[in-house]
Structure 1
Amino acid sequence: MKTPALALLAALIASGCANLAPDHERPEPPVAAEWREAGVASAGLPADQIAWREFFTEPRLRSLIERALADNRDLRTAALDIERARAQYRIRGAERFPSIEAGAGQNAQRVPGDLSQSGQSTINRQYSADIGFTGFELDFFGRIRNLEQQALETFLATTEARRAAQISLVSEVAGTWLSLAADQERLAIARDTLSAQQESFDLTQRSFELGVASALDLNLVRSSLERARADAARYSALVAQGRNALTLVVGGEVPDELLPDGFTEERPTLAELPAGVPSIVLVRRPDILEAEYRLRAANANIGSARAALFPRISLTASAGTASSSLSGLFESGSRTWAFMPAVSIPIFSAGRLQSEVEVSRIDREIAVAQYEKAIQTAFREVADVLAERATLDERLDAQRALVDANSESFRLSEARYKGGVDSYLGVLDAQRQLYAAQLELVGVELADAASLVTLYKVLGGGWK
């Protein structure tokens, strides 16, 4: 191509493009500025700035989370979605530049004698070698640039989706591990109760055989024994199911040394939230950021659809050599070039192009609604956890006091029975109440630990 043509092309490319996409404006969060329950006053770090290795202090749980982050299939799929979006972005970005190709060829044609001027058949050959580009669009109205921007925003959205998937996975591993620990604790309580009931049944049966205990006493003890045995079997099944659930979420077999051995006092710890934490912190959650990036992508789609209403200018150009003989292909005077600009102007499309613009606008409104719904959902999740945590300390104190009171009642009932003051019915009733209170205490302790994990999750913690 001659120098003036190259200069003209460079000037056209450098002249700038119009961008028909609307400017992005983040919608106002449709929620209150603060949560009703904001926790205790503290200068601690926000949850999304606390790495999960710092939040979870139990070494076995940390090891399991590391395994899950490496082996979980859902997280692996999210990572592959990022790679796919990145490749798609590169494809769109490449469309802004001409695709230059080089080629060489031969064209041979035999002309019969009755069609040639000499009356004899001839063979015509032509050799060529050239380099150039075909159909390169000058993006005056930003169609290609907005398609590239849409691909970029989609890529960024998938990156946030992967972070959100990691947050959910970390929380799920911790929640499953804690539930398994609670079921193991319940199983231990049920087995202890079963052992005690078995001893009571054996003693009562001997007393019955000696004529000291009645048949009613024996059947009451047997009833409590069978109930404890049924509970032990049920919690054994729950422990097995919990282990299966942990294996699934981790993505591989869980070694015995990484399993919990009961519900211990070692709990996950979370830096305390400052009082009156503003709800605007939710916009840092990965799922909220994902929704915002998809809103940006919808804006870019509007720009691309609008640009399709305007003329489209494309260029085809090539330069090279041509000769009737292969030896003369690169001789002086054999140079060739071609420059073919083309303009495509939409005149009639039966409303298709305008409808595509309207569709892109509706898609944007849908993206706005989804963004606002994501914020509302996140706000409710945090508010629910804070409301639960506001009463958990009181519930724990009350339940522990109830267990202590029932333990004392059971001790006194046993003493009165052995002293011949009361029947064994009072002992059984006290034991049932103690058993129920112990199981309920495990449930409240699980709720306390699980709420910490959930609060960490809903505030965006776990991606670091």
Structure 2
Amino acid sequence: MTNGRKTIGAKLSGLTITIAAAMVLSACSMAPKYQQPEVFSEDAQFRYNNTNHAQIRAYDLGWQAYFTDAQLKQLIGLALENNKDLRLAALNVESVEKQFRIQNSERFPGLNVNGSKNRSRSAADLRGQNSDAISQSYSVGLGVASFELDLWGKIKSLSDSALNQYFSSREARDAAQISLVATVAKAYYAERFANEAMKVSQGVMESREKSLRLASLRYQHGVSSKIDLRQAETLVESAKADYQAQLRAREQARNALVTLVGGNYPSQLAAASNLTQQFAYDSLPASLPSEMLLYRPDIRQAEYQLKSANADIGAARAAFFPSISLTGSIGSGSTSLDGLFTGPNRTWSFMPQISWPIFNWGATKAGLDLVKVRKEISIVNYEKAVQNAFQDVSDVLAANATLKAQYASQSKSTAAEVDRNRLMQMRHDRGITDSLALLDSQRQSYAAQMNLLAVQQQWLNSHVDLYRTLGGGLKAYSDGQVPTIQNSQP
């Protein structure tokens, strides 16, 4: 019994050595050396760039610190927990990770332990004797089932490709989170500004209804024509139509928020901050364009796709060479349990196999050409992602720089227009100005107020886009102290 166990141990040791040698031989790869495409020159710069006193980077600034509105932060937190698109992106990461684990497992041999017992009865006639017989046997063994030696790096290349696909899916999930944070903020501002527009429309509607009553009295007493009356009626109905349009915009923004937070909109929300106090920083630095390769998940996603395509070339090249697989087992068999591990009852088998493609060279060559074309496609997609990101950041920086001055000018213009309308109303009440001049003043005052709200919303949205395009939104909290609020927004 002892000698048998020693012999089996020796066989196990030999099998282990064989497996280890096979894994050492599997270390090479025929994939081309990866080189990152050059898309920026060393002196590339953004035309507009922001600076702040702390030079904090957006990707280091948590959204809890960047946004200062407690109600908005509550909605962002709910969206990150319950949003279905983000959940789908996370599940896709898990799916791709499992695919990588499956592919990577082929680089290592699978050891199987098996044991069996067989008991059978033989017929007397078949045995050529006068009586039947009952026989039984036992067997136990350890085996390797068809382990392919990765001499040319095909399996390693496929594993590297799957690994980069996994990394790419993680970057896609991060990009989805950044986009979600920005989308929630924009929907929130759309609802807030729709409410502000409704207030302006309500005030204008009440003023025009007052003017309509006055125009009706003047018409009844023959002081004004029916044209003036109809014009006043038109302005009232126009204000009502604008109010309904703003109401629709508010409800649609609320519906968008409900969807973004996963369908469970809270009945109680934190207090909303003033629209002039929404961000901790008025500006965020963009630094160098080359840094986008580090903080933009969409660019990193495209690069991992390129690395995956590069690894696929190694697998396609290895397909031209023979594949060698090993199948083997060691064990013992006996008609009784007592004799299962004795020396004479040992069993083993070893069956190497080799397969070399000969008559399918055309298909193999086409497969290599295909993965090379796919790599070129991945290169173009990477360059396109970088260029789109560069334009995205440039557009946001330009908007952030010009909207501030535009809002300042629009504020002064609106204040002047509102005061002008007040003076025109006083002149009209004293009979100095006719109704046409007053109505024209009311229209211009109303349009100026609505334009001011639109510019203010664009400015706030540009702050959101700046945070998004610079990679902000992945962290909830910054590593350091939460910054103080700087009230320099519109």
Place the TM-score, normalised by the shorter chain, in its bin: over 0.9
Structure 1 residues 8 and 73: alpha-carbon distance in aligned structure 2, compared to 1, 3 A threshold: closer
Deviations 1:247-295 (A, max 9, x none): 1122123235549979732233446344x83211211200000111111
| Partner of residue 13 from structure 1, selected from 17, 23, 34 | 23
**Superposition deviation, residue 203 in structure 1:** 2.8
| Partner of residue 334 from structure 1, selected from 333, 345, 348 | 345
Residue 326 of structure 2 is aligned to residue 318 of structure 1: no
Output the CA distance in 1 between the equivalents of 2:406 and 2:198.
22
Task: State the SS of the aligned residue for 1:351.
Answer: helix
Q: Output the amino acid matched with 1:415.
A: M
Provide the residue aligned with 2:4 in structure 1: none
Output the CA distance in 2 between the equivalents of 1:177 and 1:337.
71
| Partner of residue 26 from structure 1, selected from 19, 36, 44 | 36
Structure 1 residues 372 and 56: alpha-carbon distance in aligned structure 2, compared to 1, 3 A threshold: same
**Superposition deviation, residue 23 in structure 1:** 1.1
Structure 1 residues 134 and 423: alpha-carbon distance in aligned structure 2, compared to 1, 3 A threshold: same
Task: State the SS of the aligned residue for 2:352.
Answer: strand
Residue 89 of structure 2 is aligned to residue 78 of structure 1: yes
Deviations 1:59-90 (A, max 9, x none): 10000000000111000000001111111121
Residue 166 of structure 2 is aligned to residue 155 of structure 1: yes
Superposition pairs of residues 33-432 of structure 1, within 5 angstroms? 33-40=44-51, 43-107=54-118, 125-255=136-266, 257-258=268-269, 264-270=275-281, 272-274=283-285, 277-284=287-294, 285-432=296-443
> In 2, are the aligned partners of 1:182 and 1:262 still within 8 Å (CA)?
no
Output the CA distance in 2 between the equivalents of 1:415 and 1:370.
64
**Aligned residues: CA RMSD:** 2.5
> In 2, are the aligned partners of 1:184 and 1:262 still within 8 Å (CA)?
no
Task: State the SS of the aligned residue for 2:359.
Answer: coil
**Superposition deviation, residue 42 in structure 1:** 5.4
Task: State the SS of the aligned residue for 2:236.
Answer: helix
Task: State the SS of the aligned residue for 1:141.
Answer: coil
**Superposition deviation, residue 206 in structure 1:** 2.9
Q: Output the amino acid matched with 1:24.
A: Y
Deviations 1:148-195 (A, max 9, x none): 111111111111110000001001001111111111111110011111
> In 2, are the aligned partners of 1:185 and 1:262 still within 8 Å (CA)?
no
**Superposition deviation, residue 459 in structure 1:** 1.5
Gaps of 5+ in 1: none
Report % sequence identity. Answer: 37
> In 2, are the aligned partners of 1:142 and 1:303 still within 8 Å (CA)?
yes
Structure 1 residues 263 and 206: alpha-carbon distance in aligned structure 2, compared to 1, 3 A threshold: farther
**Superposition deviation, residue 132 in structure 1:** 1.4
> In 2, are the aligned partners of 1:184 and 1:263 still within 8 Å (CA)?
no
> In 2, are the aligned partners of 1:298 and 1:363 still within 8 Å (CA)?
yes
**Superposition deviation, residue 242 in structure 1:** 1.3
Task: State the SS of the aligned residue for 2:249.
Answer: helix
**Superposition deviation, residue 120 in structure 1:** 7.8
> In 2, are the aligned partners of 1:400 and 1:441 still within 8 Å (CA)?
yes
| Partner of residue 457 from structure 1, selected from 460, 468, 475 | 468
Q: TM-score, normalised by structure 1?
A: 0.92
Output the CA distance in 2 between the equivalents of 1:181 and 1:168.
20
**Superposition deviation, residue 124 in structure 1:** 5.5
Gaps of 5+ in 2: 1-7, 476-490
Deviations 1:356-407 (A, max 9, x none): 1111111111111110000011111111122222321221122112111211
Structure 1 residues 262 and 462: alpha-carbon distance in aligned structure 2, compared to 1, 3 A threshold: closer
Output the CA distance in 1 between the equivalents of 2:73 and 2:36.
37
> In 2, are the aligned partners of 1:317 and 1:339 still within 8 Å (CA)?
yes
Output the CA distance in 2 between the equivalents of 1:236 and 1:259.
23
Output the CA distance in 2 between the equivalents of 1:261 and 1:194.
27
Which stretch of the first structure deviates more once superposed, 114-123 or 453-462?
114-123
Output the CA distance in 2 between the equivalents of 1:183 and 1:293.
42
Structure 1 residues 231 and 70: alpha-carbon distance in aligned structure 2, compared to 1, 3 A threshold: same
Task: State the SS of the aligned residue for 1:45.
Answer: coil
> In 1, are the aligned partners of 2:19 and 2:109 still within 8 Å (CA)?
no
Output the CA distance in 1 between the equivalents of 2:455 and 2:322.
68
Q: Output the amino acid matched with 2:110.
A: S
> In 2, are the aligned partners of 1:30 and 1:372 still within 8 Å (CA)?
no
Output the CA distance in 2 between the equivalents of 1:421 and 1:387.
46
Structure 1 residues 294 and 271: alpha-carbon distance in aligned structure 2, compared to 1, 3 A threshold: farther
Task: State the SS of the aligned residue for 1:333.
Answer: helix
Task: State the SS of the aligned residue for 2:239.
Answer: helix
**Superposition deviation, residue 51 in structure 1:** 1.2
> In 1, are the aligned partners of 2:158 and 2:311 still within 8 Å (CA)?
yes
> In 2, are the aligned partners of 1:167 and 1:463 still within 8 Å (CA)?
yes
Q: Output the amino acid matched with 2:232.
A: V
Q: Output the amino acid matched with 2:112.
A: E
Q: Output the amino acid matched with 2:151.
A: F
Output the CA distance in 2 between the equivalents of 1:365 and 1:216.
70
Provide the residue aligned with 2:481 in structure 1: none
Task: State the SS of the aligned residue for 2:473.
Answer: coil
**Superposition deviation, residue 108 in structure 1:** 5.9
Output the CA distance in 2 between the equivalents of 1:312 and 1:216.
93
